[in-house]
Every structure is written in C-alpha cells, then in structure tokens.
C-alpha cells in the first residue's frame, strides 16, 4: 500500500519520528512563550540553557553518579535556579527599558555559556547512555520504535499538559495571567509581582533544561547543541504567535510533523522548511496561527 | 510641501531627542573629525599591516550599515550576515567565474544584497520589535542553508583564490596597498551615504517613526515604506562591505553568512554606540582587533564577546562614542 | 595628489622589502627556520587536531635537536577558529612580516584550501594535515609549495568501500551530508563499490548539520541494503552512529561504514555504539612497534593517544626539517623539491613518498572498531584488518585534475 508513492509503513514511521522531534520543539517553544508572556523578552539564551540542562545531567552522572531519572528532575531544578539568579540580577535591572535590550542581553548570555562550555569540554561532544529501563524497543509492524523515543513523546506530553494546567487551571496560573494583562493592578491586590516574574523565568528555563535532559541520550551532549535548535524554535514561535500556551505546544508538534514529512519527500529542504512555513504564515497571517492580531 | 514635511519631522524628532542622546556635539565638528580620520586612514597602512586595517574598514562599514537600521529606524535586524555573506559569494563568482572587473563585481554583489534586502524586508516589516529580530534571524538562517547547498558557493569549502581583478580593467589591484586604498574609498563612500541618509528628510522621518510610529503614521507618513527603504539601503551597504571584503581576502566563506556574524555586527554597534555616526566604526575596530589578538587562544574569543555584550547592555548602553558624547555634553552644559 | 604620493611611497616601501628578501638567496633565511601552525584550537576539530598537533610538532623539533644546520627552529601557532578569513589573515601576516618558512595547516578544508592559495602566492612552504578535501592536490593543487600529508577523502572512502565489497557486502545505501564534502565522499565510495561489482540501491542527502538522523536511518533501513555508508563527519557521524544503534540497525543485520572517522570520534561515541564500524585510517597508535613507542611518548606529553592528524603533523614537520637539512636552505621550492626525492618513513608513515602533485602517498589501514569485550581499555579501539598500499588507496595523478603535476610528469614546462 502506497501513500503518494511512499510505502505506507515508511510514511507512518516518518510521521511518528516527526512527532518525536515536535515534542522537543513543543517543550522549548512553550518555555519561550511563558517567558515572553510575563517578561516580554525573547529569551535568546534558551538554546544555551537547553544545552546546559543536558550537560548538568551528564555531569551529575559523571561526577556524582546520579542517574537519568533523578537528573530529569534535578537538572531542571538546578538550571531553573540558575535562571532565577539571571532574572534577578541581570534581567530585572533592564526590565523597564526597550525589550530589545533583553534580547541583546540574553544573546550575550548565550555566547558566554556556549563559550565557557566549549572552553572546558571541547566541541566533540560527550556521550550519555540511554537508561537501562528504556533500552530496546517495540516492533510496531511498520517500524522499530525505540522505547526511549516513545518515552520522549510521553514525557513531553505530560510536561506540556502539566504546564498548561498550571497556567490555565490553578490560582497561581490565574495570577500569572492577570499579571501579564495588568501588572499594576495585580500588585495592588498584594501580589509580589517581581517574585512571580522570577518564578516564571525559572519555570521557562527549567523547561528548556528538561528538554536538554530528554535530548542527552539520543543526541551527543555538546556545547553547540542549543545554538541551531534555538533559531528553529524562534521560527516556530513566530508561526504559532506568542499569544497562547496552547499555540506554542500545538505549533511545536505540528511543525515537527511537517519537518518529518519533508525529510521523506524532499530531504534536501528539511533544514529550511520551517523557515519557509514561517515566511508563508507571515504573508497570509502576520500575527501567527494562534496569535491575536496586533 | 516638502518644506512642511521637513518641519514636521523635525518637531517629532526633537520630541524624541529630549531623552535620547543620539545627537552628540561632536557632530558640530564632524568635518574636522572626518578630515583627521581620513588623514589617519591614509597614513596608517604604512605603519600597520594594511590587510588588517582593510578588514577593520570592511567591518566598520558593515556595522555602520547595520546601525543605520537599528540606530536611526529602531529596527533590530538579527539577519544582516545574510547580506554581508551572500553578496561576498556573488562578487566572488563574478570575479572568479565571469571575469568581471573589480568595480563591476562589487556592484553586482551590492545589488544582489539590495534585492535580498527587499525580499527579506517585505516579510520582516510585517512585524515589529522582537518579532522583527526573530524573523530576520530565521530568514538569514534560510540564506545560510541555501549557501551550504548551492553549487556555486563551494559549500563548506567556500570560494578561494578569487582573483583581485583590476579596477575598471585598468588599475592593478594585486598589491595589498592598492586594495587597501580601494577599500578606503569604498568605505568613505559608504559612510557618506549613511551620513547623508541620516541627515536628510528621509532620516528625520525614520527617527520619528522610531520614536512614535502611530503618530508618524497619523501625520501621513507611510511608515512601512520608509522602513522598507531603510532596510534595503542598509542591506545594500552591508552587501557593499561584504563584496569589498572579497577583494581583500580573495575568499568567501560560510562564516560570513552564519548567524553568529549577525550577532557580531550587533555587538559592534552596541559597543561603539547605537545611533551615533562614529560608534559602529569604533566598535568594529575594537572587535576585529580583539578577535585578531585572541586568535592564538581560541574559544576565549566567544566568552569575551559574550561578556562584553552583557556588560554593555547592563552598564554601558550608550556605547563608547555615545558615552563620550554624553559626558562631553553634560560637562559643557555645566561650565 | 596627496593620495598619489602615498601610493608611490607605499610602492617604494614594498619594493625595498622585496629586495631585502631576495638578497638572502640560499642558506637559512633570517638565521632561523620558523614553523607556523594554523589550526582549529577551539572548534569542532580541536580534539583531533589542536594542542595535540602542536605537541606533536614540538616532538619533531626536539628530535632534530632544536636546530637545523646550526639555525634554531622556532614554532608559532594560531587558532583559525574555522574561519577562512581569520586563517588566511594570519598566514598573510606571517608570510609578509614574520618570515615564517613553513605553514602547517590543520583540519577544516575551507581554511586548508585558502591557506594553500596564499602560501603559493607568497612562496611559503605549506603542508596540510587534517583537511579532508582532495581538492588540495587536484583543482587547488600548488605542487611547488603545497603538500597534503595525512589522508584525503579518496583514500578514506575508497579503502573502506573496496574492502567491504570484497567481503561480500555488495548492496549499499548512502546517508550523505548535503554539501560538497559529503557528495565527494559518496561519489568516490560509489565508484569503488560499482567497480568491484557491488551496487548502490539508494542514497539520501541529509542537510548539514543534522541532529536527528532517525528519519534518514529509517529510509536506509527500509532500503534493505547490506551496508549503510555514512558520508559525513564529526558530530553528524557521531549522531548517525549513535542513533543507528538506537534503532537496532546493526542488530538487524545491516552494516555501518563510516567514510571519515577519527579515534577521538570513537572515544566520544564509546565502544557500545561504535563497535563493528569499518573505517580506513592513515595511522593507528597500535599499528606497529615504532608507532607504539612514539605514541607512548606522545601520551606522556599530552595525556591521550595521537590521532592520525596529530601523528601526521609530527611526521610532516620532521621530514620538512630533514629536507631543509639536506637541501641546505629553507627556500620553499627547493625544500619541497627535496622532499619529493626522499623516502618518507617514520613513526607515522609507511612506504611514504611525496608525489609530483603534492600528495604524500603512504600506506593506509583498514580497521574495525573493537567490541567492548575485545578492548583492553581507553584508546584500545581498533582491530587493524589489513594494510592498503598507498598506490591503491589514493587516486593516481593521471586520474586527478592537477594539471601542473601532469605537465611536470610529462616533462613539460609548468604553465603557472
């Protein structure tokens, strides 16, 4: 059975792989969207912090002997705390300036982090083994699905769902959303808005680190791993529009799928397809697929 | 009609200038400074390695082109490497494969960059601020991937051994000195264009759009058209810088199209002083010399650049030239 | 007017400088032999090249007693940061102002070719170790000044492909990095496969760089080919090998052949992921007694075993200095001509000779990565399967495109 000249099993396999890549995009663009929502800055250091997340997992294993599962919690916590320090001491002083300064500052941070890790660990990359409990795979009939890849989807869906729930369904989330709309008013109700901002940045950065730990066992842990993915995620965010949490998640998964399809039909273009989509969206719907019209 | 429009925009920019320091008193003596600078640049290659100074000038022009957009139109482009690097490939191709003379090669490269700027600009000006930055970044990344795959760029190897064809087919360009003076001439023309653009009615309108876009629109200016024009001009000048660099180094490589290069030019402008005429030139000189000095040490270069970036944004937002201008102004104001 | 005057002054200054240089003529110019190394010290290739290469060249200089014909040997090094303009700027400056006699270029083909152009223009001797591109001794060849020492794309892909087809692995599928380098690797390997009776059932061009190869690996898996040839390098190779293991490709009965793999890649991948890979290498520290002895010294100095590039750096510096000694001059063309008459034999090279086109032809080795059980510890990674004689490993001058070398071989005058 063929689908557009491609055997159906191959086609299904590629869709599934696209979805797995989409999971990474979703978690990363979700973090970006969260930070943008409350701080109004685009966190250029997001890719670098994703890389740091992977490295923290690697270092925990290498120096302290802490394995994958604890690292999955610990690394986002450590990187999230680091993010909160960044927010408190670097981003807050410039919070009242043009938001472009935030972009520039985080860009500088990204260079710093990348440079430091390059200096210390070189560029050839470190290996991080897939945890024993997630080795092997399932034969789905149309493809061999490694257990770890299946886990990536599950983990991403859980994390995205939990974040969505936190923002949309809890009191804390309601306060956060209110602070986005009108920070002064929320402050008048006695909410510590600066603390809220710090926590949000920590959460967004923690999500990036989580994606980093997820990526560690399948990609090589390497200081440059964040610098290319961040631009793709930027494009995804432009496509989705920074308007909503759901938009960030949905466009992450969707573009992963789309990229997967390109790898079958026209692999040469798979690195640029997301940018092409971005250009088209900008022409047709400048505010993004899920964004509110500006 | 034109008189009134100049007057209007003047009012607008004055409103903005109350808090912005974009106009330094140095401008009063700009001619003197320009003369001193020119004499300095004419003499310096006899004391310093001319290729190095030529490199500095190429990057200074690049940064000045970038600053035209950020400093005077308030648009942060994170994709200027696309113009700088792609025009280099085009010029390289013209000189190497088509055998065009130097000035034609540079012109074709510049024109290509302008065209690319038009396409990217049309897309990017649909959004503002941070979105604008991200869109330019993404589009330039597209150009980067295209450069890897296109046949004529030589992919990862790049283009090497591009001949220094004679200028107008007459003047020999093979020595470092003659190339240096060509670069100096191009640099002066480029910077003059930036200066004229900024200090024209067009520049005034741009500044007014930067300060208050809705108000500029309500006054009847087609903000998008002005922004697009500024974008294309900036792209063309960045392309001019990239094309000229080919004459110096006789090569075109992926480095110049990479997004890191877009970041570098932002750093040059920020370090020197956004919105000043001399700032980008000073910033570019410092960064290029720094890179050269750190070449023996390596990835320290990235760390230093990142550190300078963070420092500038946190504590030194006026940049070197902006800060000097500001101090001088307040000092003069007191005495 | 003023400008004219300055230009004239500049011209006069340059003329004077040239005259001063010309006066030196024979013997050792500036009373020192100066070697400059332009390498990747901080980027993707710094592990296989970088500081280790500098250490290797220092060993070569020490071996010569620190001097040649009474003139001291000086060494400088710089990081090209994988940027052709930075690399060539350094080379120009060294040639114009620092009187560097030999430039040793490291990994990164783009920079490597750029350096070849400049050194040939400036008349400085140039030896590259680490750039993969065969263009250095083909389209971009500069046989009077520029040599290519350790390996090139031809030797690597040819060696691996021929050996594997002969073992009965006849059907191939390529995953190719979508740029000149990748396509060159694939083309050479593809020709070798076909000439030896194998067939190529398909290929996919993966954009460069790619992090996730699973999609391409699935396509390769679906093709049913016996061998999946990886025409890529560095992090791309690491990711594709690692993910191939994850998707059970080797367990499923397909073999992986990496067309460019360094000892440091295997070290980064770990034997679990890399085991069973077939590859070609120009040098392995454990290849014989002489190599082991030298590598032990190298490890003492640097803390790791040498890669083929680092060993090649040692060899090229050592042979260059010997040639200077024999020729009695550090004039680049005379030294390069001298090198072409010498047999190249040292800790690195077996049956080496420098050809007319600038290629240092020497034996290559077909190797297979050991299983974790076979390995006795760190760096014990390869089983050497067999030696590929130099003339079989490398492309011949006649098949290449270095016109200058062909003319020289046929006795004609060089046109350039």
Domains detected in chain A: 2-284 (1.10.3470)
Domain boundaries, given as residue ranges, for chain B: 2-258
B283 touches chain C (CB under 8 A): no
Residues 196-255 of B with CB under 8 A from A: none
pLDDT surpassing 70 at residue B4: no
CB spacing of A267 vs C206 below 8 angstroms: yes
pLDDT surpassing 80 at residue C56: yes
Mean pLDDT of all residues belonging to chain B: 84
State mean pLDDT over A272-294.
81
pLDDT (tens digit per residue) in C218-253:
889 888 899 999 999 888 898 899 899 888 888 888
The candidate with the shortest Cα–Cα distance to C211, out of B5, A291, A46, A211, is A211
pLDDT (tens digit per residue) in A145-172:
889 999 999 999 999 999 999 988 899 8
Q: Which of B157, B291, B298 sits opposite C41 (nearest CB)?
A: B298
The string over B22-37, giving b where at least 16 C-beta atoms fall within 10 Å of a residue's C-beta and e elsewhere, is: bbbebbeeeeeebeee
B184 interaction partners in chain C (CB closer than 8 Å): none
pLDDT surpassing 90 at residue B335: no
State mean pLDDT over A11-29.
90
State mean pLDDT over B260-286.
90
- Top mean pLDDT of B25-29, B314-318, C87-91, C169-173 is at C169-173
C156: Cβ–Cβ under 8 A, 6 or more apart, which residues? C132, C185, C259, C260, C279, C280, C364
Mean pLDDT of all residues belonging to chain A: 88
A168: Cβ–Cβ under 8 A, 6 or more apart, which residues? A177, A245
B256 interaction partners in chain C (CB closer than 8 Å): 85
pLDDT (tens digit per residue) in C141-184:
999 999 999 999 889 888 889 888 988 899 999 999 887 788 88
Least Cα separation, residue B140 to chain A (angstroms): 9
DSSP letter, residue B159: B
pLDDT at A145: 87
pLDDT (tens digit per residue) in A243-270:
678 888 999 999 999 998 888 888 888 8
**Which pLDDT band holds residue B59 (cuts at 50, 70, 90)?**
very high
pLDDT (tens digit per residue) in C301-332:
999 999 999 999 999 999 999 999 999 998 99
The secondary structure element, H or E, covering residue B32 is: helix B30-43
pLDDT (tens digit per residue) in C79-123:
887 778 788 888 988 998 889 999 999 888 888 988 998 999 899
Give dist(CA B235, CA C118) in Å, integer: 30
Instruction: Provide the token pair at C235.
Output: 């992090």
- Please check whether the two domains, C32-151+289-359 and C154-281+364-393, share a CATH topology: yes
**Which pLDDT band holds residue C199 (cuts at 50, 70, 90)?**
very high
Least Cα separation, residue C45 to chain A (angstroms): 7
Pairing state of beta strands C360-361 and C382-388?
Answer: unpaired
Minimal-distance CA residue of chain C relative to B174: C121
pLDDT surpassing 60 at residue B14: no
Is C32-151+289-359 a CATH 3.60.15.10 domain?
no
Instruction: Provide the token pair at A50.
Output: 């994703």
Minimal-distance CA residue of chain A relative to B301: A115
State mean pLDDT over C178-206.
89
C85 touches chain B (CB under 8 A): yes
pLDDT at B184: 94
Minimal-distance CA residue of chain A relative to B150: A268
pLDDT at A293: 53
pLDDT at B7: 35
Mind spelling out the 3-state secondary structure of C340-394? Answer: CCCEECCCCCCCEEECCCCEEECCEEEEEECCCCCCCCCCCCEEEEEEECHHHHC
State mean pLDDT over C210-225.
88
CB spacing of A105 vs B259 below 8 angstroms: no
| Region of poorest pLDDT, from A8-12, B112-116, C231-235 | A8-12
Under a CB-based contact definition with an 8 Å cutoff, are residues A144 and C248 in contact?
yes
The single residue listed with the structure tokens 């494009």 is: A235
pLDDT (tens digit per residue) in B213-233:
888 888 888 888 999 999 999
Q: Which of A93, A113, A278 sits opposite B314 (nearest CB)?
A: A93
Residue C404's CB is within 10 A of a number of other CB atoms, namely 18
Least Cα separation, residue A137 to chain B (angstroms): 34
State mean pLDDT over B241-267.
90
In terms of pTM, does the model score above 0.95? no
A104 interaction partners in chain B (CB closer than 8 Å): 76, 266, 270, 309, 313
Pairing state of beta strands C125-128 and C146-148?
Answer: parallel
pLDDT at C285: 94
Q: Which residue has the higher pLDDT, A216 or A100?
A: A216
B123 touches chain A (CB under 8 A): yes
- Residue B21's Cβ-count burial label (10 Å; 0-12, 13-18, 19+) is middle
Domain boundaries, given as residue ranges, for chain C: 32-151+289-359, 154-281+364-393
SS3 state of residue A7: strand
State mean pLDDT over C355-370.
93
Q: Which of B156, B178, B299 sits opposite C179 (nearest CB)?
A: B156
pLDDT at B13: 36
- Top mean pLDDT of A119-123, B70-74, B239-243 is at B239-243
pLDDT surpassing 50 at residue B5: no
Under a CB-based contact definition with an 8 Å cutoff, are residues B90 and B243 in contact?
yes
The secondary structure element, H or E, covering residue C147 is: strand C146-148
Mean pLDDT of all residues belonging to chain C: 86
CB spacing of B270 vs A104 below 8 angstroms: yes
In CATH, what number does C154-281+364-393 get?
3.40.50.2300
A103 interaction partners in chain B (CB closer than 8 Å): 76, 130, 133
B313 touches chain A (CB under 8 A): yes
Residues 112-151 of C with CB under 8 A from B: 113-114, 116-117, 133, 135, 140
Instruction: Provide the token pair at C98.
Output: 């620092």
pLDDT surpassing 90 at residue B63: yes
pLDDT surpassing 70 at residue A5: no
pLDDT at B48: 82
| Angle, vertex CA C176, rays to CA C174 and CA C182, nearest 5 | 125
B24: Cβ–Cβ under 8 A, 6 or more apart, which residues? B276, B321, B322, B324, B325, B326, B328, B329
CB spacing of A111 vs B305 below 8 angstroms: yes
SS3 state of residue C266: helix
Percent of chain C having pLDDT more than 70?
92
CB spacing of A119 vs B305 below 8 angstroms: no
Under a CB-based contact definition with an 8 Å cutoff, are residues B87 and B110 in contact?
yes
Percent of chain A having pLDDT more than 90?
41
State mean pLDDT over B22-32.
59
B186: Cβ–Cβ under 8 A, 6 or more apart, which residues? B61, B106, B240, B244
pLDDT surpassing 50 at residue C20: no
| Angle, vertex CA B225, rays to CA B223 and CA B226, nearest 5 | 65
**Which pLDDT band holds residue C379 (cuts at 50, 70, 90)?**
very high
Least Cα separation, residue C322 to chain B (angstroms): 28
A293 touches chain B (CB under 8 A): no
Q: Which residue has the higher pLDDT, A107 or B170?
A: A107
**Which pLDDT band holds residue C7 (cuts at 50, 70, 90)?**
very low
**Which pLDDT band holds residue A108 (cuts at 50, 70, 90)?**
very high
**Which pLDDT band holds residue B117 (cuts at 50, 70, 90)?**
very high
State mean pLDDT over A288-292.
78
pLDDT at A272: 86
**Which pLDDT band holds residue C6 (cuts at 50, 70, 90)?**
very low
The ipTM, to two decimals, is 0.83
The secondary structure element, H or E, covering residue C188 is: helix C180-195
Within its chain, how far is the Cα of B205 from the centroid? 20
A114 touches chain B (CB under 8 A): yes
Under a CB-based contact definition with an 8 Å cutoff, are residues C107 and C69 in contact?
no
The single residue listed with the structure tokens 């680490």 is: C130
pLDDT surpassing 90 at residue B159: no
What is the layout of strands, in order, in the sheet containing C199-206? Answer: C199-206, C171-177, C227-231, C255-258, C278-281, C364-369, C382-388
């Amino acid at each position: 059975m063929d689908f557009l000249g491609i055997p159906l099993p191959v086609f299904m396999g590629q869709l599934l792989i696209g979805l797995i890549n989409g999971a990474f995009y979703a978690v990363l663009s979700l973090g970006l969207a969260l930070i943008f929502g409350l701080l109004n800055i685009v966190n250029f250091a997001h890719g670098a912090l994703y890389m740091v997340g992977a490295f923290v997992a690697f270092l925990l294993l290498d120096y302290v002997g802490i394995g994958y599962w604890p690292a999955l919690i610990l690394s986002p916590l450590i990187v999230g705390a680091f993010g909160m320090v960044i927010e408190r001491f670097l981003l807050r002083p410039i919070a009242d300036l043009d938001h472009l300064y935030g972009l520039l500052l985080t860009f500088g941070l990204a260079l710093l982090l990348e440079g430091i890790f390059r200096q210390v660990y070189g560029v050839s990359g470190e290996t991080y083994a897939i945890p024993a409990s997630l080795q092997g795979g399932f034969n789905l009939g149309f493809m061999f699905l490694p257990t770890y890849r299946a886990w990536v989807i599950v983990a991403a869906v859980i994390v995205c769902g939990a974040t969505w729930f936190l923002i949309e369904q809890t009191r804390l989330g309601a306060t956060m959303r209110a602070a986005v709309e009108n920070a002064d008013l929320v402050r008048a109700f006695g909410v510590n808005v600066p603390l809220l901002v710090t926590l949000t940045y920590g959460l967004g950065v923690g999500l990036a680190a989580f994606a980093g730990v997820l990526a560690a066992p399948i990609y090589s842990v390497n200081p440059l791993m964040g610098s290319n993915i961040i631009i793709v995620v930027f494009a995804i965010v432009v496509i989705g529009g920074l308007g909503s949490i759901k938009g960030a998640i949905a466009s992450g998964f969707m573009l992963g799928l789309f990229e997967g399809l390109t790898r079958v039909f026209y692999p040469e273009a798979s690195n640029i397809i997301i940018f092409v989509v971005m250009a088209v969206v900008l022409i047709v719907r400048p505010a993004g697929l899920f964004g509110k019209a500006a | 009609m034109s008189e009134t429009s100049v007057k209007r925009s003047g009012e607008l920019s004055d409103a903005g200038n109350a808090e912005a320091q974009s106009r330094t008193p140095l401008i009063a003596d700009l001619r003197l400074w320009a003369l001193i600078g020119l004499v300095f640049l004419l003499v310096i290659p006899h004391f310093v390695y001319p290729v190095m100074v030529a490199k500095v000038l190429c990057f200074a022009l690049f940064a000045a082109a970038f600053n035209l957009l950020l400093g005077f139109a308030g648009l942060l482009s994170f994709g200027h490497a696309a113009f700088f690097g792609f025009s280099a490939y085009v010029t390289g191709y013209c000189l190497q494969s088509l055998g065009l003379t130097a000035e034609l090669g540079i012109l074709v490269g510049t024109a290509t960059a302008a065209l690319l700027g038009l396409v990217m600009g049309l897309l990017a000006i649909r959004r503002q601020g941070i979105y604008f930055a991200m869109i330019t970044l993404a589009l330039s990344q597209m150009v980067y991937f295209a450069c890897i795959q296109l046949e004529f760029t030589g992919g990862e190897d790049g283009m090497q051994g591009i001949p220094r064809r004679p200028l107008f087919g007459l003047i020999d360009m093979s020595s470092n000195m003659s190339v240096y003076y060509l670069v100096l001439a191009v640099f002066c023309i480029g910077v003059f264009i930036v200066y004229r653009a900024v200090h024209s009615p067009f520049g005034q309108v741009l500044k007014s759009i930067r300060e208050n876009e809705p108000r500029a629109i309500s006054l009847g200016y087609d903000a998008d058209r002005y922004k697009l024009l500024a974008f294309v001009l900036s792209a063309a000048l960045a392309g001019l810088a990239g094309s000229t660099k080919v004459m110096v180094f006789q090569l075109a490589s992926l480095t110049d199209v990479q997004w890191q290069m877009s970041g570098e030019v932002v750093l040059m402008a920020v370090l020197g002083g956004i919105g000043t005429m001399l700032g980008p030139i000073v910033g570019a000189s410092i960064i290029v010399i720094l890179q050269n000095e750190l070449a023996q040490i390596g990835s320290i270069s990235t760390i230093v650049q990142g550190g300078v970036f963070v420092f500038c944004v946190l504590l030194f937002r006026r940049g070197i030239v902006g800060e000097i201008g500001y101090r001088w102004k307040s000092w003069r104001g007191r005495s | 007017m003023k400008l004219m005057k300055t230009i004239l002054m500049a011209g006069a200054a340059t003329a004077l400088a040239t005259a001063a240089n010309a006066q030196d003529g024979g013997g050792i110019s500036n009373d020192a032999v100066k070697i400059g190394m332009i390498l990747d010290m901080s980027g993707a290739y710094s592990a296989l090249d970088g500081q280790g290469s500098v250490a290797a060249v220092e060993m070569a200089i020490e071996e010569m007693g620190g001097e040649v014909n009474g003139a001291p040997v000086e060494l400088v090094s710089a990081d090209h940061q994988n940027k052709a303009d930075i690399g060539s700027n350094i080379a120009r400056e060294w040639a114009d102002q620092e009187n560097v006699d030999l430039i040793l270029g490291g990994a990164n083909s783009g920079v490597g070719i750029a350096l070849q152009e400049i050194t040939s223009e400036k008349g400085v001797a140039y030896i590259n170790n680490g750039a993969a591109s065969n263009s250095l001794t083909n389209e971009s060849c500069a046989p009077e000044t520029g040599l290519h020492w350790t390996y090139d794309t031809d030797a690597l892909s040819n060696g691996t492909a021929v050996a594997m087809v002969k073992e009965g692995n006849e059907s191939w599928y390529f995953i190719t990095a979508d740029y000149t380098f990748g396509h060159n690797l694939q083309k050479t390997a593809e020709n070798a496969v076909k000439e030896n009776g194998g067939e190529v059932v398909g290929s996919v061009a993966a954009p460069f760089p790619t992090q996730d190869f699973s999609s391409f690996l699935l396509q390769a898996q679906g093709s049913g080919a016996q061998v999946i040839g990886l025409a890529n390098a560095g992090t791309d190779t690491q990711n594709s090998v690692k993910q191939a293991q994850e998707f059970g490709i080797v367990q499923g009965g397909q073999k992986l052949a990496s067309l460019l793999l360094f000892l440091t890649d295997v070290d980064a991948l770990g034997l679990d992921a890399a085991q069973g890979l077939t590859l070609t290498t120009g040098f392995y520290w454990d290849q014989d007694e002489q190599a082991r002895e030298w590598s032990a010294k190298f490890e003492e100095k640097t803390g790791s075993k040498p890669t083929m590039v680092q060993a090649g750096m040692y060899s090229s510096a050592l042979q260059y200095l010997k040639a200077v000694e024999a020729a009695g001059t550090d004039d680049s063309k005379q030294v390069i001509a001298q090198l072409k008459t010498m047999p190249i034999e040292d800790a690195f090279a077996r049956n080496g000779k420098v050809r007319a086109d600038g290629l240092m032809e020497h034996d290559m080795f077909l190797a297979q990565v050991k299983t974790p059980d076979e390995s006795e510890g760190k760096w014990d990674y390869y089983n050497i399967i067999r030696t590929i004689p130099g003339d079989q490993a490398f492309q011949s001058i006649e098949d290449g495109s270095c016109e200058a070398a062909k003319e020289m071989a046929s006795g004609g005058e060089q046109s350039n």
